[in-house]
Structure 1
Amino acid sequence: MAFAPQPAGYRRWAVSLMLALFALSFLDRQIINILAEPIRHELRLADWQIGIMTGLAFAVLYTIAGLPIARLADRANRPRIIGTAVIAWSLFTAASGFASNFALLLAARVGVGIGEAGLTPPATSLIMDYSPPEKRASTLAHYHMGVPLGSLLGLALGGMLFDLVGWRHAFLVVGLPGLLLGGLALLLLREPRANAATPASSSPTTLVDATRTLWRIRSYRLFVLGTAFQAFVSYGQAPFIASYFFRMHGAELASLGRVIGLERAGFLGLALGLASGISGLFGVWLGGQLADRISRGDVRHYGTVPAVAALLTVPTFIAAILMPNAGAALLFLTIPCLFNSMWFGPVHTTQQGVAPAHVRATATAILLLVLNLIGLGLGPLTVGILSDWFSSGWGFGAARGVQAALVAASFVGLVPAWLFWSARRSIPDEITR
């Protein structure tokens, strides 16, 4: 079903609110990455447990909840779903601060995953209905700037809050804003379906029908798999980058932090937040702008942008992790962070553009299901197992072990580059403008 685009002023305001919600969701996810090392020490965890806590526990319930929520979003009031979800995950984030053992913290992170499953499928579907076709890649890219923005805030605030009040109170502080923002979404976001005709009865009525319809679309299938393997690398590495710097460059971090009056956790959180956040924001914006601009003459370039960006991420990340100097490594990380964020606009525009309008929320949910099971579910766990293996089995030690695991995981980035490039052949026949 097609809807008249919302007025430009309202669209900018509404998408900015959803951007803030998406940023908050990634703040809640990323804060645990900067806090992983102190949590590991206090609760006496192994790296594989950090991998489960930051990845698999979140991903499994996120994906299980995501599909029924998305099916509901294809029919029901999407702003109500979004607002309720934001309030729910914010409460679970605050509850993480009360966990006294691994099982309780795991349960809280599961709750965060269930809540966050209710944001992106209905939000992406709303943005497509709000926006004219020629603005969709850049508008969706604007929404997905919440990933680097939330990562910046989660890492920077998490590190500084840990230095000030400890990791438990840090969870409490970042859980509170969601209650306000969730309320705003409930009150102020518009549902275009309110004044639209009922969808045609020929629309798929079951999840199986919708999934079958979507999976037959070659471009959609390849983009889903490409995004999943892209996430395997980025989500797999994320929980261990701070641990790597703490283990490999702890003394240097403390020295650098003293220069600006911060402890080492506060300095590292701020440095990683700026490295990933600022360059990531620019990368998301650049990817959306490039995709909208160069695809006007040839829609295959919706695949070109993420393919080239994924390829360039591999050598630049490895170079940063192998640098012997912490300051230089943190600075150089801005380059792979930029490339690693350029896929959001073109990928989400394509997967929504090739999906029938009546299953767009489900299309996003299926993408997120595969992305999170492969990327968030298996990525951190795999890197954690590799880290333990290299550290103990190969005798590398904790610092060199996590470094080797991060480098090894980088090579998986060649897979999404190939998948995105392969999708270029079928995009012209399947996308609607």
Structure 2
Amino acid sequence: MAAGSVSSDVAEPAAAAGRSWFVLAALTFVYILNFLDRQLIGILAKPIQDSLGVTDGELGLIGGLYFAMFYCFIAIPVGWFADRTNRVNVLALACAIWSGATTACGLAGSYSQLVVARMAVGFGEAGGVPPSYAIITDTYPPGRRAAALGIFNLGPAIGAAIGVAFGATIAARFDWRMPFIVIGIIGIVTALLVWLFIREPERGALDPVQTGDGAGKAAFWPTVRMFLTHPVLMLAALGSGATQFVTYGLGNFAVLFLMREKGMVLGDVAVWYALVLLLGMGGGMVLSGRVIDRMTRKSRTGYAMAPAISLAIAMPFNIAFVWAPSWPLALMLLAVVMVFNYFYLSASVALVQDEVKPNQRVLSGALLLLVMNFIGLGLGPTWVGQASDWFKAHGDPHGLQSALYTLTPFYLIAIALFLWLARLLRRETAISRMPA
């Protein structure tokens, strides 16, 4: 009898661990599709420009502001709804919507049709990441969350790498439309599988302290007010936004820049740029999760110091990447940039998820994405595209290169914001340790 009890006790944690890994793997795959869909415009920028007559400025708007207007603001009601209902169902429906819209991008016959389709992609993708953050947080306990979120945040690296390899290869063999259509169909099938096989976890069940106020339905406006007036949350969001201004501004134009200024062709892009994204960005995501977990066991300031230090390392390599006279050297420098550019993501997500009540996690994650993505995704590519057109109109034959140089001050802004956040976290920790 006792032996049976021991066997049962051992089997249950093993089964729970297996379910946790299955959930994490499934959500990461959805995130890969989410980011892959989003990156196809940047990856296929040159053939799209050649086909539809799109300027750099128009390309920046379609990959930035037009997309972000839906992606950022729709995330708020989606987050509120997901906090009050089944988050897995919300995620599955969102995946189906953005995947159908991605297919529509491949059928667009004009710039205006492509704009509408991209806005629809943004509408769907608004329901992708915030529910996933909350599901992972309620699947993994504190102390393992940042590492789990770091694995989840491999989605952008893998999605971008697959997008480059798949998109560039298929576009070179057929045309730029086929990758949108194929990826859209895969996403619709994935949405159905998520709906069928992922179970909704209990909210707050793995949190160390159960306060009794995190299981009910959180009110919308009080949660929004809490986030917008919470200095820690807002500094994390603003620091992440300044960082994303750089990462999205660079990412949406990197392939076009390498082809136009450095002499790469789609065949080179499909192999070497994809490899840099996978190893650089992917390595950074895995490394950041482990570093942040280790730093935050000693002090909560690790949530801020890790991204501040990593961005200080990345900045000179980013400048050198833009300057590099050949694409092989540029890619080597870009690999270093990719490793250190993305520490902010796991740090800010883990901090926000730990800072709020369990029933506020999806909406708070959506608010984090609203602030950082509107600044970074909405304005970063728009800035670079418009700056490129401006430099070109004023006689600069390397307008896109000059535009990418203008991203450098935003590194400094992001570092300053994260250092400010570290100071605030250090002060809060000191106050919490003071005797009552």
CA distance in 2, matches of 1:282, 1:158: 22
Unaligned residue ranges in structure 1 (runs of 5+): 254-263
Match of 2:230 among 212, 217, 220: 217
Q: How does 1:335-350 map to 2 (within 5 A)?
A: 335-350=336-351
CA distance in 2, matches of 1:48, 1:168: 21
How many pairs are equivalent?
414
Residue in structure 2 matched with residue 64 of structure 1 by the alignment: 73
Residue 261 of structure 2 is aligned to residue 248 of structure 1: yes
CA distance in 1, matches of 2:266, 2:325: 19
CA distance in 2, matches of 1:120, 1:243: 27
Q: How does 1:346-385 map to 2 (within 5 A)?
A: 346-385=347-386
Decide whether aligned partners of structure 1 residues 194 and 325 sit closer, same or farther in structure 2, where only a CA change above 3 A counts: closer
CA distance in 2, matches of 1:105, 1:358: 37
TM-score, length of structure 2 as denominator length: 0.90
Residue in structure 2 matched with residue 387 of structure 1 by the alignment: 388
Contact between 2:96 and 2:188, CA under 8 Å: does it hold in 1? yes
Deviation at 1:5, TM superposition (A): 12
Residue in structure 2 matched with residue 124 of structure 1 by the alignment: 133
Deviates more, 1:124-133 or 1:184-193: 184-193
Provide the secondary structure at the position in 1 that maps to 2:181: helix
Q: Which amino acid aligns with 2:106?
A: G
CA distance in 1, matches of 2:278, 2:96: 24
Decide whether aligned partners of structure 1 residues 185 and 201 sit closer, same or farther in structure 2, where only a CA change above 3 A counts: closer
Contact between 2:203 and 2:359, CA under 8 Å: does it hold in 1? no
Q: Which amino acid aligns with 1:215?
A: L
Residue 323 of structure 2 is aligned to residue 322 of structure 1: yes
CA distance in 1, matches of 2:215, 2:290: 36
Match of 1:227 among 240, 245, 260: 240
Residue in structure 1 matched with residue 122 of structure 2 by the alignment: 113
Contact between 1:5 and 1:131, CA under 8 Å: does it hold in 2? no
Off by >4 Å, runs of 4+ in structure 1: 194-197, 199-205
Residue in structure 2 matched with residue 425 of structure 1 by the alignment: 423
Contact between 1:29 and 1:154, CA under 8 Å: does it hold in 2? no
Decide whether aligned partners of structure 1 residues 19 and 202 sit closer, same or farther in structure 2, where only a CA change above 3 A counts: closer
The one-character-per-residue Cα deviations of 1:60-100 (angstroms, maximum 9, x if unpaired) are 01122100110011110011011111111111101111111
CA distance in 2, matches of 1:58, 1:136: 29
Decide whether aligned partners of structure 1 residues 168 and 325 sit closer, same or farther in structure 2, where only a CA change above 3 A counts: same
Residue in structure 2 matched with residue 239 of structure 1 by the alignment: 252
Deviation at 1:326, TM superposition (A): 1.4
Provide the secondary structure at the position in 2 that maps to 1:374: helix
CA distance in 1, matches of 2:122, 2:15: 31
Residue in structure 2 matched with residue 259 of structure 1 by the alignment: none
Q: How does 1:8-407 map to 2 (within 5 A)?
A: 8-193=17-202, 200=213, 205-250=218-263, 253=264, 264-393=265-394, 395-397=395-397, 400-407=398-405
CA distance in 2, matches of 1:287, 1:342: 5
Q: Which amino acid aligns with 1:231?
A: Q
Percent identical: 32
CA distance in 2, matches of 1:385, 1:420: 28
CA distance in 2, matches of 1:126, 1:66: 16
Deviation at 1:410, TM superposition (A): 2.6
The one-character-per-residue Cα deviations of 1:278-298 (angstroms, maximum 9, x if unpaired) are 111110111110111122121
Q: Which amino acid aligns with 1:311?
A: A
CA distance in 2, matches of 1:5, 1:417: 42
CA distance in 1, matches of 2:45, 2:317: 25
Deviation at 1:202, TM superposition (A): 10
CA distance in 2, matches of 1:127, 1:170: 30
Q: Which amino acid aligns with 2:195?
A: L
TM-score, length of structure 1 as denominator length: 0.91
CA distance in 2, matches of 1:116, 1:6: 31
Deviation at 1:330, TM superposition (A): 1.4
Q: Which amino acid aligns with 2:181?
A: L
Residue in structure 1 matched with residue 10 of structure 2 by the alignment: none
Decide whether aligned partners of structure 1 residues 138 and 388 sit closer, same or farther in structure 2, where only a CA change above 3 A counts: same
Provide the secondary structure at the position in 2 that maps to 1:97: helix
Q: Which amino acid aligns with 1:299?
A: R
Decide whether aligned partners of structure 1 residues 301 and 194 sit closer, same or farther in structure 2, where only a CA change above 3 A counts: closer
CA distance in 1, matches of 2:15, 2:227: 27
Contact between 2:214 and 2:357, CA under 8 Å: does it hold in 1? no
